[in-house]
Every structure is written in C-alpha cells, then in structure tokens.
Amino acid sequence: MEELKNTTIKMAEQSKVLNTPGAEKQTKRELFDALRQELETPVLEKASKSVWELILDNNGLGKEISETVERVFCKLSGQEPPLFPPPSNPEPQASREKENKKEAEKEEELTIASLKDNSMLKHPKKRRYNEITNEKSGAANEVVRKSADDRSSKSPHSKTLNLT
C-alpha cells in the first residue's frame, strides 16, 4: 500500500497538469480536478494490479482467499476438502518480494513513460524556423525548376531532331 502511495505521489509530481506554465493561476480545486482526470486511469490500473498480486500471493491474503474459495466450493459441491494440496516446495518469500518490487518498478516506469507519450501526442514537437523555411525554399526551388523545364520544352527556339 505504501508503494502505491509513493507511486501516485511521483505521478502527481511529474504530471502535465501541475507542470504546465500557468498552473499557478488556477485554483486548487481546478488543479485537483484536472490532476484526477489525468491520473485516474493509470492509478486505478496500478492499484488493481497491486490488489491482484495480493490475492494471488500464496501467503497472507492470497492464502486466505484460496482457502475460502476452496471451502465454499467443497461445501457447494459436496466434496471433501482439501482439493488443492499445499505446494511441496514453496518459493522463498524474500526472492518473491524482490521480484514483485522489480515488477512494480518496471510498471511505474511504463506508467510514467505512457503519461509522457500522451503528453507528446497532444503537444507534438514544434519545428524550428529554419526547418520550416528550408522546406518552403526546397518546394519553391522545385516549382521554379519544373516551370523552367516546361518553358524550355515548349520554346520555339528549341530544336527537335527527327532521326527517321
């Protein structure tokens, strides 16, 4: 839960809403509403993933949920528990925690990267003045060259050799 809190705070600090020039002119309520709109989906996805990690974990909450599901299933189906034997060689908890932490860090990086990508889609990179003028001058040169070619081919002074 602490990890989710820290991730959400980092996302808020790096948000487009709070880092846009002129944000200081908005009210706190306007900023909060805009921030909620920007971060709602990525934060909910992160929270959902964290909850499912807890549910699927074979220790703690995950174990309790599995046992509850098994108990209710056995009661409803009339079968005797335990249907699912406990794992014979459980993975060490420390190793699993390290993997979960690495996955969470990767997920956080991807979420932040996707926020930046979305920002770039809405505000594509501006072109420099010389890029625009180079494009225009290149197109203008092409037009001049084509019109000169057209005139020379239609000129009465141009000679056509007939080799038949």
Secondary structure (DSSP) of 15-34: -TTTTSTTGGGS-HHHHHHH
Token representation of residue 73 = 């299933």
Scan for tokens 């501006």, then name that residue: 126
What's the confidence (pLDDT) of residue 15? 94
- Model pLDDT for residues 2-56, shown as the tens digit of each residue: 888 899 999 999 999 999 999 999 999 999 999 999 999 999 999 999 888 888 8
For residues 79 and 154, which has the higher predicted lDDT (pLDDT)? 79
- What's the CA gap between 130 and 133, in Å, rounded? 5
* Distance of alpha carbon 13 from the chain centroid: 17
Nearest one of 30, 19, 38, 37 to 114, comparing CA atoms: 38
pTM of this structure: 0.41
Q: How many C-beta neighbours within 10 Å does residue 39 have?
A: 19
What's the confidence (pLDDT) of residue 117? 57
pLDDT band at 154 (very low <50, low <70, confident <90, very high): low
- Model pLDDT for residues 56-111, shown as the tens digit of each residue: 888 888 888 888 888 899 889 888 776 565 555 555 556 666 676 677 677 766 66
Angle at 28 between CA 23 and CA 33, to 5 degrees: 85
